[in-house]
Amino acid sequence: MRRLSLISVPYLWLLALFLVPFLIVLKISLSDTALAIPPYTPTLDLSQGWAGLAQWWAGLDMENFWFLAEDNLYWKAYLSSLKIAVTSTLLTLLVGYPIAYGMTRAPDEWRPTLMMLVILPFWTSFLIRVYAWKAILSQEGLLNQLLMNIGLISEPLIILNTNLAVYIGIVYTYLPFMVLPIFAALDRLDGSLLEAAEDLGCSRLTAFWLVTMPLSKQGIIAGSFLVFIPAMGEFVIPALLGGSKTLMIGKVLWEEFFSNRDWPVASAVAVILLLLLIIPIVLFQRNEEKQREAEG
Protein backbone atom coordinates (compact mmCIF):
# COMPACT_ATOMS: atom_id res chain seq x y z
CA MET A 1 0.00 0.00 0.00
CA ARG A 2 2.78 2.41 0.94
CA ARG A 3 4.62 1.54 -2.23
CA LEU A 4 1.51 2.18 -4.22
CA SER A 5 0.99 5.58 -2.65
CA LEU A 6 4.60 6.49 -3.35
CA ILE A 7 4.15 6.17 -7.07
CA SER A 8 0.41 6.68 -7.44
CA VAL A 9 0.89 10.45 -7.41
CA PRO A 10 2.58 10.73 -10.81
CA TYR A 11 0.41 7.90 -12.05
CA LEU A 12 -2.87 9.61 -11.17
CA TRP A 13 -1.48 12.88 -12.41
CA LEU A 14 -0.78 11.43 -15.82
CA LEU A 15 -4.01 9.52 -16.08
CA ALA A 16 -6.59 11.95 -14.77
CA LEU A 17 -5.21 15.42 -15.33
CA PHE A 18 -3.59 14.66 -18.69
CA LEU A 19 -6.31 12.53 -20.15
CA VAL A 20 -8.45 15.32 -21.62
CA PRO A 21 -5.55 17.38 -22.97
CA PHE A 22 -4.11 14.15 -24.31
CA LEU A 23 -7.24 13.39 -26.31
CA ILE A 24 -7.11 16.88 -27.81
CA VAL A 25 -3.44 16.44 -28.70
CA LEU A 26 -4.16 13.00 -30.12
CA LYS A 27 -6.79 14.49 -32.35
CA ILE A 28 -4.44 17.21 -33.60
CA SER A 29 -1.77 14.61 -34.29
CA LEU A 30 -4.17 12.88 -36.66
CA SER A 31 -4.90 16.11 -38.51
CA ASP A 32 -3.05 17.86 -41.34
CA THR A 33 -1.23 21.11 -41.08
CA ALA A 34 -2.93 24.11 -42.64
CA LEU A 35 -2.53 27.85 -42.97
CA ALA A 36 -5.41 28.68 -40.74
CA ILE A 37 -6.39 29.44 -37.20
CA PRO A 38 -6.00 26.93 -35.58
CA PRO A 39 -3.26 25.78 -37.96
CA TYR A 40 -4.64 22.39 -38.82
CA THR A 41 -7.57 20.68 -40.56
CA PRO A 42 -10.08 19.25 -40.18
CA THR A 43 -11.85 21.12 -37.42
CA LEU A 44 -15.08 19.76 -36.12
CA ASP A 45 -18.06 21.72 -37.42
CA LEU A 46 -21.05 20.54 -35.46
CA SER A 47 -23.43 23.00 -37.16
CA GLN A 48 -23.54 20.62 -40.13
CA GLY A 49 -24.72 17.76 -37.95
CA TRP A 50 -23.87 14.18 -38.84
CA ALA A 51 -22.36 15.09 -42.18
CA GLY A 52 -19.89 17.42 -40.44
CA LEU A 53 -18.92 14.69 -38.02
CA ALA A 54 -18.38 12.17 -40.81
CA GLN A 55 -16.31 14.66 -42.79
CA TRP A 56 -14.23 15.42 -39.72
CA TRP A 57 -13.64 11.74 -39.07
CA ALA A 58 -12.65 11.14 -42.69
CA GLY A 59 -10.07 13.93 -42.45
CA LEU A 60 -8.13 12.15 -39.70
CA ASP A 61 -5.21 9.92 -40.63
CA MET A 62 -1.93 8.51 -39.37
CA GLU A 63 0.17 10.41 -41.86
CA ASN A 64 2.17 12.33 -39.25
CA PHE A 65 3.17 9.16 -37.47
CA TRP A 66 4.44 7.64 -40.72
CA PHE A 67 6.39 10.80 -41.26
CA LEU A 68 8.00 10.50 -37.84
CA ALA A 69 8.88 6.89 -38.49
CA GLU A 70 10.56 7.71 -41.78
CA ASP A 71 12.62 10.67 -40.66
CA ASN A 72 15.38 9.31 -38.43
CA LEU A 73 15.88 12.71 -36.75
CA TYR A 74 12.94 11.89 -34.55
CA TRP A 75 14.11 8.43 -33.66
CA LYS A 76 17.53 9.76 -32.83
CA ALA A 77 15.95 12.42 -30.65
CA TYR A 78 13.87 9.86 -28.79
CA LEU A 79 16.86 7.57 -28.27
CA SER A 80 19.08 10.42 -27.22
CA SER A 81 16.44 11.61 -24.73
CA LEU A 82 16.17 8.10 -23.40
CA LYS A 83 19.90 7.89 -22.97
CA ILE A 84 20.11 11.26 -21.26
CA ALA A 85 17.13 10.47 -19.02
CA VAL A 86 18.50 7.06 -17.99
CA THR A 87 21.99 8.39 -17.38
CA SER A 88 20.81 11.35 -15.37
CA THR A 89 18.45 9.13 -13.36
CA LEU A 90 21.39 6.93 -12.43
CA LEU A 91 23.49 9.97 -11.60
CA THR A 92 20.69 11.41 -9.47
CA LEU A 93 20.45 8.09 -7.67
CA LEU A 94 24.19 8.08 -7.04
CA VAL A 95 24.03 11.56 -5.58
CA GLY A 96 20.62 11.25 -3.92
CA TYR A 97 21.03 7.96 -2.08
CA PRO A 98 23.94 9.09 0.09
CA ILE A 99 22.12 12.35 0.83
CA ALA A 100 18.98 10.48 1.90
CA TYR A 101 21.07 8.02 3.90
CA GLY A 102 22.94 10.83 5.60
CA MET A 103 19.66 12.50 6.49
CA THR A 104 18.34 9.40 8.26
CA ARG A 105 21.63 9.06 10.12
CA ALA A 106 21.73 12.70 11.21
CA PRO A 107 20.85 13.60 14.80
CA ASP A 108 17.14 14.22 15.27
CA GLU A 109 17.51 17.93 15.85
CA TRP A 110 19.20 18.32 12.45
CA ARG A 111 16.56 16.57 10.45
CA PRO A 112 14.09 19.42 9.89
CA THR A 113 16.97 21.64 8.76
CA LEU A 114 18.30 19.05 6.32
CA MET A 115 14.82 18.41 4.99
CA MET A 116 14.42 22.17 4.54
CA LEU A 117 17.68 22.36 2.60
CA VAL A 118 16.45 19.67 0.22
CA ILE A 119 13.16 21.42 -0.41
CA LEU A 120 14.45 24.99 -0.29
CA PRO A 121 15.38 25.31 -4.02
CA PHE A 122 11.69 24.89 -4.89
CA TRP A 123 11.08 28.28 -3.38
CA THR A 124 12.78 29.99 -6.31
CA SER A 125 11.65 29.73 -9.88
CA PHE A 126 12.98 26.78 -11.78
CA LEU A 127 13.96 29.02 -14.71
CA ILE A 128 15.98 31.34 -12.50
CA ARG A 129 17.84 28.39 -11.02
CA VAL A 130 18.69 27.04 -14.46
CA TYR A 131 19.90 30.49 -15.52
CA ALA A 132 22.03 30.57 -12.40
CA TRP A 133 23.73 27.41 -13.61
CA LYS A 134 24.53 29.21 -16.86
CA ALA A 135 26.36 31.80 -14.79
CA ILE A 136 28.20 29.12 -12.90
CA LEU A 137 29.18 26.90 -15.81
CA SER A 138 29.99 29.38 -18.57
CA GLN A 139 33.55 29.94 -19.72
CA GLU A 140 33.85 33.10 -17.65
CA GLY A 141 31.58 31.60 -15.01
CA LEU A 142 32.08 31.17 -11.29
CA LEU A 143 33.33 27.60 -11.54
CA ASN A 144 36.03 28.32 -14.10
CA GLN A 145 37.10 31.48 -12.24
CA LEU A 146 37.43 29.50 -9.05
CA LEU A 147 39.38 26.66 -10.63
CA MET A 148 41.70 29.06 -12.45
CA ASN A 149 42.27 31.16 -9.35
CA ILE A 150 43.36 28.21 -7.31
CA GLY A 151 45.51 27.15 -10.23
CA LEU A 152 43.91 23.80 -10.95
CA ILE A 153 43.42 24.68 -14.62
CA SER A 154 44.95 27.24 -16.92
CA GLU A 155 42.37 27.14 -19.70
CA PRO A 156 38.65 27.50 -18.89
CA LEU A 157 36.70 24.24 -19.07
CA ILE A 158 33.96 24.12 -21.64
CA ILE A 159 30.97 22.80 -19.77
CA LEU A 160 28.10 25.05 -20.76
CA ASN A 161 26.34 24.04 -23.97
CA THR A 162 27.47 20.43 -23.67
CA ASN A 163 25.64 17.32 -22.54
CA LEU A 164 27.57 17.51 -19.29
CA ALA A 165 25.80 20.76 -18.44
CA VAL A 166 22.48 19.07 -19.23
CA TYR A 167 23.30 16.23 -16.83
CA ILE A 168 24.31 18.68 -14.14
CA GLY A 169 21.09 20.61 -14.66
CA ILE A 170 18.87 17.53 -14.54
CA VAL A 171 20.58 16.04 -11.52
CA TYR A 172 20.38 19.34 -9.71
CA THR A 173 16.75 19.98 -10.59
CA TYR A 174 15.34 16.53 -9.86
CA LEU A 175 17.48 15.63 -6.88
CA PRO A 176 14.69 16.26 -4.33
CA PHE A 177 12.40 13.85 -6.20
CA MET A 178 15.02 11.17 -5.69
CA VAL A 179 15.99 12.08 -2.14
CA LEU A 180 12.53 12.27 -0.61
CA PRO A 181 11.17 8.80 -1.49
CA ILE A 182 14.47 7.17 -0.57
CA PHE A 183 14.53 9.11 2.67
CA ALA A 184 10.97 7.96 3.40
CA ALA A 185 11.96 4.34 2.80
CA LEU A 186 15.15 4.53 4.86
CA ASP A 187 13.41 6.37 7.65
CA ARG A 188 10.96 3.49 8.08
CA LEU A 189 13.80 1.02 8.36
CA ASP A 190 13.94 -0.45 11.84
CA GLY A 191 17.42 0.05 13.26
CA SER A 192 17.26 -3.21 15.16
CA LEU A 193 17.33 -5.06 11.81
CA LEU A 194 20.86 -3.79 11.25
CA GLU A 195 21.78 -4.80 14.77
CA ALA A 196 20.34 -8.25 14.13
CA ALA A 197 22.36 -8.51 10.93
CA GLU A 198 25.53 -7.55 12.78
CA ASP A 199 24.68 -9.93 15.58
CA LEU A 200 24.45 -12.73 13.04
CA GLY A 201 27.91 -11.99 11.71
CA CYS A 202 27.60 -9.20 9.13
CA SER A 203 30.05 -6.35 8.97
CA ARG A 204 28.50 -2.89 8.72
CA LEU A 205 29.01 -2.93 4.98
CA THR A 206 27.43 -6.33 4.37
CA ALA A 207 24.56 -5.37 6.64
CA PHE A 208 24.04 -2.35 4.40
CA TRP A 209 23.98 -4.50 1.26
CA LEU A 210 21.84 -7.27 2.68
CA VAL A 211 19.39 -5.25 4.72
CA THR A 212 19.41 -1.50 4.05
CA MET A 213 19.58 -1.73 0.27
CA PRO A 214 16.81 -4.29 -0.27
CA LEU A 215 14.56 -2.51 2.22
CA SER A 216 14.99 0.83 0.46
CA LYS A 217 14.42 -0.67 -2.99
CA GLN A 218 10.90 0.68 -3.22
CA GLY A 219 12.12 4.19 -2.48
CA ILE A 220 14.81 3.83 -5.14
CA ILE A 221 12.31 2.67 -7.73
CA ALA A 222 9.81 5.39 -6.90
CA GLY A 223 12.53 8.07 -6.92
CA SER A 224 13.94 6.84 -10.22
CA PHE A 225 10.56 7.07 -11.88
CA LEU A 226 9.96 10.53 -10.48
CA VAL A 227 13.24 11.63 -12.08
CA PHE A 228 13.13 9.59 -15.26
CA ILE A 229 9.63 10.60 -16.34
CA PRO A 230 10.10 14.38 -16.39
CA ALA A 231 13.72 14.09 -17.54
CA MET A 232 12.62 12.19 -20.63
CA GLY A 233 10.55 15.07 -21.93
CA GLU A 234 12.73 17.81 -20.50
CA PHE A 235 12.92 20.93 -22.66
CA VAL A 236 14.09 23.89 -20.58
CA ILE A 237 17.33 22.36 -19.33
CA PRO A 238 18.66 21.18 -22.72
CA ALA A 239 17.50 24.42 -24.32
CA LEU A 240 19.32 26.61 -21.80
CA LEU A 241 22.31 24.52 -20.79
CA GLY A 242 22.72 22.11 -23.69
CA GLY A 243 24.49 22.86 -26.95
CA SER A 244 23.39 22.57 -30.56
CA LYS A 245 24.46 18.93 -30.44
CA THR A 246 22.25 18.11 -27.49
CA LEU A 247 19.39 16.25 -29.07
CA MET A 248 16.35 15.86 -26.90
CA ILE A 249 12.82 15.18 -27.96
CA GLY A 250 11.49 18.02 -25.82
CA LYS A 251 13.56 20.45 -27.83
CA VAL A 252 12.44 18.91 -31.13
CA LEU A 253 8.85 19.21 -30.02
CA TRP A 254 9.27 22.86 -29.12
CA GLU A 255 10.83 23.63 -32.49
CA GLU A 256 8.09 21.84 -34.42
CA PHE A 257 5.50 23.72 -32.48
CA PHE A 258 6.89 27.24 -32.33
CA SER A 259 9.44 27.47 -35.15
CA ASN A 260 7.77 25.30 -37.78
CA ARG A 261 4.26 25.94 -36.50
CA ASP A 262 3.52 22.36 -37.51
CA TRP A 263 1.03 21.54 -34.79
CA PRO A 264 0.04 18.11 -36.09
CA VAL A 265 3.63 16.83 -36.28
CA ALA A 266 4.44 18.37 -32.91
CA SER A 267 1.36 16.66 -31.49
CA ALA A 268 2.40 13.34 -32.98
CA VAL A 269 5.82 13.75 -31.33
CA ALA A 270 4.07 14.47 -28.04
CA VAL A 271 1.74 11.49 -28.35
CA ILE A 272 4.63 9.10 -28.93
CA LEU A 273 6.55 10.63 -26.05
CA LEU A 274 3.57 10.12 -23.79
CA LEU A 275 3.18 6.52 -24.93
CA LEU A 276 6.85 5.94 -24.28
CA LEU A 277 6.42 7.24 -20.77
CA ILE A 278 3.25 5.35 -20.01
CA ILE A 279 4.76 2.00 -20.97
CA PRO A 280 7.38 1.93 -18.18
CA ILE A 281 4.84 3.17 -15.65
CA VAL A 282 2.40 0.43 -16.54
CA LEU A 283 5.17 -2.16 -16.51
CA PHE A 284 6.23 -0.88 -13.12
CA GLN A 285 2.67 -1.11 -11.83
CA ARG A 286 2.34 -4.67 -13.10
CA ASN A 287 5.54 -5.61 -11.39
CA GLU A 288 4.37 -4.04 -8.15
CA GLU A 289 1.10 -5.92 -8.27
CA LYS A 290 2.82 -9.19 -8.97
CA GLN A 291 5.11 -8.63 -6.05
CA ARG A 292 2.19 -7.79 -3.79
CA GLU A 293 0.40 -10.94 -4.88
CA ALA A 294 3.52 -12.96 -4.23
CA GLU A 295 3.70 -11.47 -0.78
CA GLY A 296 0.03 -12.23 -0.20
Partner 1 sequence: MAETAPISADFAPWEAPDAKPIIQFKNVTKRFGDFTAIDDLTIDIFPQEFFSLLGPSGCGKTTMMRMLAGFESPTEGTILLDGQDIAPVPPNKRAVNMMFQSYALFPHLSVSDNIAFGLKRDGLSKDKIADRVEEMLKLVQLSQFASRKPHQISGGQRQRVALARSLAKAPKLLLLDEPLGALDKKLRQETQFELMDIQEKTGTTFVIVTHDQEEAMTVSSRVAVMDHGKIIQVATPQQIYEEPNSVYVADFIGDVNIIRGTAKRADGDHVHITFAADHAPLIAATKRDIAEGSEVALAIRPEKIAISTEKPEDRNNAIQGKVLDIAYLGNISTYHVELPGGAVVKAQTANTRRVHRRSFTWDDSVWLSWTDTAGAVLVE
Work out whether 195 is an interface residue with partner 1 (CB under 8 A): yes
- 83-91, 194-202, 246-254, 260-268 -> range binding partner 1 (CB under 8 A): 194-202
Work out whether 192 is an interface residue with partner 1 (CB under 8 A): yes
What's the 3-state SS for 133-149? HHHHHCCCCHHHHHHHH
Work out whether 201 is an interface residue with partner 1 (CB under 8 A): yes
Work out whether 193 is an interface residue with partner 1 (CB under 8 A): yes
Q: Which is nearer to partner 1, 149 or 192 (CB)?
A: 192
Among 1, 16, 20, 200, contact with partner 1 (rule: CB under 8 A): 200
Q: Are the C-beta atoms of 89 and 224 separated by less than 8 Å? A: yes
In total, the chain counts a number of residues equal to 296
Among 72, 145, 206, 260, contact with partner 1 (rule: CB under 8 A): 206
Report residue 119 CA to chain centroid gap: 18
- 14-22, 84-92, 114-122, 193-201 -> range binding partner 1 (CB under 8 A): 193-201
- 18-26, 38-46, 170-178, 191-199 -> range binding partner 1 (CB under 8 A): 191-199
Work out whether 288 is an interface residue with partner 1 (CB under 8 A): no
Kindly state the smallest distance separating residue 199's Cβ from partner 1, in Å.
5
Among 61, 71, 199, 289, contact with partner 1 (rule: CB under 8 A): 199
Q: Which residues bind partner 1 (CB under 8 A)?
A: 190, 192-193, 195-203, 206, 210-211, 214-215, 295-296
